[in-house]
Amino acid sequence: MRLSEGVEWGAHVCGLLSVLPDGATLSGAHLADYHGVPPAYMAKHLQALSRAGVVSAGRGPTGGYRLARPASEITLWDVTQAIEGSAPAFRCQDIRTRGPVGATPKECKRMCGIAKAFLAAENAWRASLQAVTVADVMGDAAKDFSAAKIKRFATWLEDAAH
């Protein structure tokens, strides 16, 4: 089982967008450059975030991306769902109904216990992600920001932001 790396990118992007001045935007190319990843591929993930309503996109020379709502209202689950989709990782094939001793439909009124357990585990995972917002992450990360890094960041932002 493997989570798409785009989820990590999306989370970092939301963190970066959350510290922008009000009304400012960043283009996909700049977001990719900032994180050192391929611009075209980053664009694909930004598109997914835009479709999901996590970020809002503007076109034209002054266009770019910004958060669609306050960072305190965007959870890591929102980002994950936007990029990975909402299909569960465990997809029950109901193999208990197959084979020579397969259960008949009447014997399958309740959900398979195995599927139930795996879906419960997935719910726990989701709940854990829903409990963390982009604002939480950035607040935590801010503790590690050195003065030098903040200065570097401000300089970069000067050139990049609209």
Partner DNA sequence: GTACCCCTACTCGGATAGCGAGTGTCCGAGTCGGAATGG
Partner DNA sequence: CCATTCCGACTCGGACACTCGCTATCCGAGTAGGGGTAC
Which residues contact a second copy (rule: CB under 8 A)? Answer: 1-5, 7-9, 11-12, 15, 33-37, 76, 84, 87, 89-93, 95-96, 98-104, 106-110, 112-118, 120-122, 124-129, 132, 136-138, 140-141, 143-146, 149, 152-153, 156
Tell me: does residue 130 bind DNA (CB under 7 A).
no
Phi, psi of 26 (to 5 degrees): -130, 135
Q: Roughly what angle, to the nearest 10 degrees, separates helices 134-141 and 5-18?
A: 80
Tell me: does residue 10 bind DNA (CB under 7 A).
no
Tell me: does residue 46 bind DNA (CB under 7 A).
yes
Token pair belonging to 6:
């785009």
Select 37 or 137, whichever has its Cβ closest to DNA: 37
Contact predicate 9/49, CB 8 Å: no
Q: Can you tell me which of 21, 22, 59, 110 binds DNA, judged by CB under 7 A?
A: 59
19 binds, among a second copy, DNA, none (CB under 5 to 8 A by kind): none
Q: How far is the CB of 154 from a second copy (least distance, A)?
A: 10
Q: How far is the CB of 61 from a second copy (least distance, A)?
A: 22
Contact predicate 56/17, CB 8 Å: no
Residues touching DNA, count (CB under 7 A): 28
Rg of the chain over all Cα atoms, to the nearest angstrom: 21
Which of 3, 13, 87, 89 has the alpha carbon at shortest distance from 49?
A: 13
Tell me: does residue 157 bind DNA (CB under 7 A).
no
User: End-to-end CA distance of the chain, in Å?
Assistant: 39
Token pair belonging to 98:
């197959």
Does the CA dihedral 121-123-126-127 come out positive or negative? negative
Applying CB under 7 A, the residues found at the interface with DNA are 1-2, 4-6, 27-30, 38, 40-41, 43-44, 46-47, 50-51, 57-65, 84
